[in-house]
């Protein structure tokens, strides 16, 4: 749904990028860092996601401890095949859990129209959640593409991470919008 927060916890690559773009079309996409979660810290990680009001999560079939912890907290999961992601495909194996609507009315209103939620690093103080609308992302990406002179035959090398607004705007959106 439009006001749901969907966490994307996949390895960086084409499958991640496609999942991010597709999620931004239907709800609020929340890029999550993909790192190994052991059985002992799966509950802590799942609780942190729940505290960020994530109502759904896209993750790989190999994330079994985290998957179980998310389901125990009532977070709807879309499980994709890890092998297919590594080859640039997205094969949904199954979904699990019951989709629950967002619970906080005030939060639903504040997220209305937003497509992406990024958590800042907190270098100037406490980390903050920043919401971006699709139009703002597109304008920023077009500015990057135009300023950089990107075109259909351009090849880019970017070191910004895909859970960072610079990585999303430069690596994905600017490249996509430049042809």
Model confidence, pTM: 0.72
pLDDT at 109 over 70: no
- The answer to whether 161 touches 167, Cβ cutoff 8 Å, is yes
Residue 48: partners with Cβ closer than 8 Å, 6 or more residues away: none
CA 24 to chain centre: 8
**Mean of the pLDDT values across residues 144-172?**
82
Summarize pLDDT for 111-141 with one digit per residue, the tens.
556 888 887 777 787 877 788 888 888 888 8
Residue 98: partners with Cβ closer than 8 Å, 6 or more residues away: 74, 76
Summarize pLDDT for 29-73 with one digit per residue, the tens.
888 877 767 777 899 999 988 988 888 999 888 888 899 999 999
Q: Give the residue, 123 or 77, on which the prediction is more confident.
A: 77
**Mean of the pLDDT values across residues 2-16?**
81
Summary mean pLDDT of the chain:
79
Residue 80 to residue 84: CA distance in whole angstroms? 8
- The answer to whether 65 touches 42, Cβ cutoff 8 Å, is yes
pLDDT the model gives residue 108 = 42
Residue 6 to residue 124: CA distance in whole angstroms? 27
pLDDT the model gives residue 92 = 78
């Amino acid at each position: 749904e439009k006001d749901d927060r969907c966490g994307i916890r996949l390895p960086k690559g084409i499958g991640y990028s496609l999942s991010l773009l597709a999620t931004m079309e239907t709800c609020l996409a929340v890029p999550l860092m993909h790192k190994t979660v052991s059985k002992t810290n799966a509950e802590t990680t799942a609780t942190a996601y729940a505290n960020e009001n994530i109502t759904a999560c896209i993750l790989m079939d190999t994330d079994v401890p985290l998957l179980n912890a998310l389901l125990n907290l009532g977070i709807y999961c879309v499980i994709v095949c890890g092998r297919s992601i590594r080859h640039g495909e997205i094969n949904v194996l199954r979904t699990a859990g019951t989709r629950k609507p967002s619970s906080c009315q005030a939060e639903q209103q504040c997220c209305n129209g937003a497509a992406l939620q990024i958590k800042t690093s907190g270098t100037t103080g406490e980390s903050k959640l920043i919401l971006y609308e699709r139009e703002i992302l597109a304008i920023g990406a077009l500015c990057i593409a135009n300023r950089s002179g990107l075109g259909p035959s351009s090849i880019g090398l970017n070191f910004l991470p895909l859970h960072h607004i610079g990585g999303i705007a430069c690596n994905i959106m600017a490249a996509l919008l430049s042809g």
